[in-house]
Chains A and B, each alone.
Chain A
Amino acid sequence: EADIYQTPRYLVIGTGKKITLECSQTMGHDKMYWYQQDPGMELHLIHYSYGVNSTEKGDLSSESTVSRIRTEHFPLTLESARPSHTSQYLCASSQHTGLGNNSPLHFGNGTRLTVT
C-alpha cells in the first residue's frame, strides 16, 4: 500500500517543454528527496528537503528545480526538457526521528521520463 505517490508514471515529451513531476506523501514526513536513476545504474540524489520552505541540491548536478510549500508535496520542475533528461525519477520521504541517521526511506513508484 503506497503512502507516497508520484505522477505521472510515464511521460514522453518533446524537447523544450516545461514539465513538473508530482510527488505527494500522506505520512507527515519532514524529509523528502528526489533521486535520478538511469537504467541499470545506481540512484543519484538530485534534491532534498528538510521541511517546508527548505530545499537543497543533492550530489548530482541537475537542471531541475524543486519547491516545498506544503509538507506533503515536493514537485520537481524542468523548465526546458532535453533528451539528456531522459531517466527515471524516484521521490522518497523519511521521518525525522531526532535519533540520527536511522530512518529508512519510503519510495514512490517513480516517473519514467523520455524526452524526444
Chain B
Amino acid sequence: AQSVTQPDIHITVSEGASLELRCNYSYGATPYLFWYVQSPGQGLQLLLKYFSGDTLVQGIKGFEAEFKRSQSSFNLRKPSVHWSDAAEYFCAGTLEDTGRRALTFGSGTRLQVQP
C-alpha cells in the first residue's frame, strides 16, 4: 500500500546537538515530498520540499533533507537544534497520479529539546 512512515514517534535532543528525523515512503514512482512543522496550537508550516533534481534540499530555519531513492527515504536534518525547534514534524508526499493530488502524511515525530 502507498504510505508515508515516520518510525520515530518521539525524539529528545539537547540544544545544540544535531538532529535527524526519519521518513520513508512506499510508492511505485518518485513522489513529491515535503516536510511540515506544527508548533503547539498552530497550523502546519512548510519547511522544505523535493520535486526532482538535486537530492539535497535546503529549507527554512536551517533545515535540510536528503532524498535517497534506493532507501525510499527523505530524512530531515539540522546541524544544531535550537529550543524553538521543539514541535511536531510531519513528512508528507503525493502518492497518487489522480487529479486530486492530496498529500499523504506520516504520523508525525514529536521533537523535544533539552537545555
- Number of chain B residues whose Cβ lies closer than 8 Å to a Cβ of chain A: 25
Stretch at the interface among A13-21, A72-80, A97-105: A97-105
Q: Which residues of A contact B49 (CB under 8 A)?
A: 102, 104
Q: Which residues of A contact B43 (CB under 8 A)?
A: 2, 4, 6, 90, 107-110
Per-position binary interface string of chain B over residues 24-47, scored 1 when its CB falls under 8 Å from any chain A CB and 0 otherwise: 000000011010100001111110
| Majority secondary structure of chain B interface residues (helix, strand, loop or mixed) | loop
- Number of chain A residues whose Cβ lies closer than 8 Å to a Cβ of chain B: 28
Tell me which residues from 63 to 115 in chain B have a Cβ below 8 Å from any Cβ of chain A. Answer: 90, 94, 99-103, 105-108, 110
Q: Which residues of A contact B105 (CB under 8 A)?
A: 35, 42-43
Per-position binary interface string of chain A over residues 63-107, scored 1 when its CB falls under 8 Å from any chain B CB and 0 otherwise: 000000000000000000000000000101000000011111111
- B107 touching A41 by the CB < 8 A rule? yes
- A40 touching B42 by the CB < 8 A rule? no
Per-position binary interface string of chain B over residues 47-66, scored 1 when its CB falls under 8 Å from any chain A CB and 0 otherwise: 00101000000000000000
Q: Which residues of A contact B51 (CB under 8 A)?
A: 102
State in angstroms the CA–CA spacing of A105 and B106 once bound together.
Answer: 15
- B108 touching A41 by the CB < 8 A rule? yes
- A40 touching B9 by the CB < 8 A rule? yes
State in angstroms the CA–CA spacing of A107 and B106 once bound together.
Answer: 16
